[in-house]
Amino acid sequence: MTSDLKSQYCTRFSSEKQIFVCDPIPLFMSEKVTPEHLQQVHKQALETFNKIETLESLQVFTGNLVGKKSAMGDWFKQLKALDVEAKKELGPKLQEFKTYWEQACLDKQNQLETQALNQKLASDFIDVTQAYPSQKGALHPLSQVQRHIESIFTGMGFEIADGPEVETEWHNFDALNVPANHPARDMQDTFFVNSKNDRSDLNSVLRTQTSNIQIRKMLENGAPVRIIAPGRVYRNEDVDATHDAMFYQVEGLVVDKDISVSHLKGTLETMLSAVFAKPMKIRIRPGYFPFVEPGLEVDIWWEYIDKNGEEKGRWLEFCGAGMVHPNVLRNSGVDPEEFTGFAFGFGLTRLVMMKYGIEDIRLLSSNKREFLQQF
């Protein structure tokens, strides 16, 4: 009898290939089945049965007790071999045992399955009505300032213009009064895309300045013209905290009758005061750019608090500007006898750095969330 009741351990391989073992379940086998034996097994089975908590254990239990190759299957075989009297005594008991345990196993299976399902439902439950802490995206600081500048200029009657970043050498240099071999082509560390042709309108460069838009706009629409052109420019620079091989500029061009340097000054002061939300002072001094005559440098009066907490101010270079060179007007089909104009080009990237106190230009193209989340 004791050997009949030895336990069977159930091992299974789950999908993660982990072995897992169920509770020890007796085999319930016996060499000779008798009514007393049935009683004993019933008691033992109840004990085991009440402890079963998993479907796996129940499956083994059911298999051992009432399944095809179970103890009970064996007892029914033994029953056939008994004489009539013994059959009469044992038969109904065996049947009763069978009915009881088949039902009990089925009930327990339902109960465990429902329990498992409820557990899964509880753990899978998602409350779609619950507020989820979401993170809002925002425009990149460059885009924010660019949009602000665009709205300031459109408020002054300017149009926003755009043009190619891969530009002909002609639009980027020749038409802007920068002749071949002029040092200005090197001054701007040009990336040449294709420079094998002897005609500059067949060669291409990554534009080194947004000034190409001056030419394109005047060729397209003639004069008068009043535009700004924000966009990317490229220079073959060694990258460090203040230099990048790609940065943003904003070009400005006004060509009309009787345009003078004072229009330029007023326009830039208005724009800067709006960007920094306080009156900004600028100064103008001579500078050199082949496409303007006179060429000008514009400085901005920059107020800041120094390390000792003292209020300080100093002049900072802000942009190149000037009165559009007659050759540039001519190259763009505009009569310099009839029209004059001013142009400027400032670094939008640098302006953003000044506005927010960003000390490393590389942060602006780094995609670092800790950095971008501040704007």
Task: Give the binding site for ligand PHE (CB under 6 A).
Answer: 209, 211, 289, 292, 320-322, 343-345
The answer to whether 336 and 325 are in contact (CB under 8 A) is no
CB-nearer residue toward ligand PHE: 231 or 345: 345
CB-nearer residue toward ligand PHE: 163 or 345: 345
- State phi, psi for 190 to the nearest 5 degrees: -70, 140
The answer to whether 74 and 98 are in contact (CB under 8 A) is no
Q: How far apart are CA 236 and CA 245, in angstroms?
A: 6
CB-nearer residue toward ligand PHE: 105 or 250: 250
Cβ at position 319, least distance to ligand PHE in Å? 6
Cβ at position 346, least distance to ligand PHE in Å? 8
Q: How far apart are CA 355 and CA 314, in angstroms?
A: 15
CB-nearer residue toward ligand PHE: 57 or 249: 249
Cβ at position 355, least distance to ligand PHE in Å? 20
Cα angle for residues 94, 96, 97 (degrees, 5° grid): 65
Alpha helices (runs of H) in the chain, residue ranges in sequence order: 35-51, 55-65, 71-80, 84-124, 141-155, 169-172, 183-187, 212-221, 261-276, 326-331, 348-356, 369-372
- 6 backbone φψ class: left, alpha, beta (φ>0; ψ -120 to 50): beta
CB-nearer residue toward ligand PHE: 79 or 245: 245
Cβ at position 288, least distance to ligand PHE in Å? 9
Cβ at position 328, least distance to ligand PHE in Å? 9
CB-nearer residue toward ligand PHE: 112 or 213: 213
Q: How far apart are CA 138 and CA 332, in angstroms?
A: 40
Cβ at position 139, least distance to ligand PHE in Å? 25
